[in-house]
Amino acid sequence: MFSVWLSPKIAVVGPGAVGSYYGARLAYAGRIVHFLLRSDFAAVRRHGVTILSPNGNFNARPRTARQPDEIGTCDVVLIALKTTANDQFAKLLPPLVGLQTAIVTLQNGLGNEEALAQLFPVEQILGGLCFVGLNRTAPGVVQHLGEGTILLGEYLRWPEPRTQDLASLFRHAGVPCKVTDQLARARWEKLVWNIAFNGLGVAAAASPETLARSGQLLASALPAHACLTSGELLDHGPREALVRALMLETIAIANALGHAVPTDLADRMIERTRRLGEYKASTILDFELGRPLELDSLFLAPLRQAQKVGVATPHLVALCQVLQGLAAPKVTQGPT
């Protein structure tokens, strides 16, 4: 292992629920972790980050900064911004990135590594898929509901020795971390869950008129004006049928693109999600708080790929129509 990995300097950009949880794990394990913060700066600087978890509660004390220049060049930069803030990359990241910095996006959806590659060399970019149930309940407080594995891969490259070093860094902090040599496929596998549960959970809050305009595929199963948790969607009835239909459409797109995603992934994800209970997916929380929805990366970009390869996705088309009607006006975000 290279000496830098014995005591790496780590920055977390966008420490909301995901960034706070993984950053706190690393800090609690004794790593040098800097949080680039905005709204939660005072709370985290004073009280640290508290993680409430069925695996045991703990409090971590990362270093805090309001501006990236205060942190300086790091060995690892973990990006946990909402994808609606990707236009801030050019402002936030250069002061943190040196020639040897590993840049790891923990964001959902498509296009994040591509956006980073416009600014930095491909060989510095990695992606991490987070399979975890989290809710930020107060400034500096995150409720961990279950799961927690990170699937880590290089962008457009085979895993490097540093990929394994990063995975070990997470594992030593109590985070299960696996390495994949097929990051693009892993992104589509995560989309299988995100499109269905994030999308339908929010679409249920649309008006009857908006649902009706998208056709009967969604309107017959979703209530109007009420977001749905994962447990409410898994009703063993018409809502669960919608979840499965969207999952199978997403798998069909992935397979048409050559990613070889097994069709039984839908059933496995549904059963695993049942164990989370009444979980509110992140897009629901954004919608309820009036934040911009991650509409492009999670929904429209996959739809464009479906159209590109000629895969029929009537449920995804209807879902995108409803979500576009609900989407809040775009507001530029920095770190939270």
> Could you give the residue numbers annotated as active site?
190
DSSP 237-287: SHHHHHHHHHHHHHHHHHHHTT----TTHHHHHHHHHHTT-SPPPHHHHHH
Rounded CA separation 195/242 (Å): 11
Rounded CA separation 30/114 (Å): 32
Rounded CA separation 317/312 (Å): 9
Q: Torsion-angle region of residue 141: left (phi > 0), alpha (psi -120 to 50) or beta?
A: beta
285: its two tokens: 């929380």
70: its two tokens: 């205060």
Rounded CA separation 231/274 (Å): 6
Beta pairing, strands 74-79 & 141-154: unpaired
Torsion sign over Cα 272, 133, 84, 154: negative
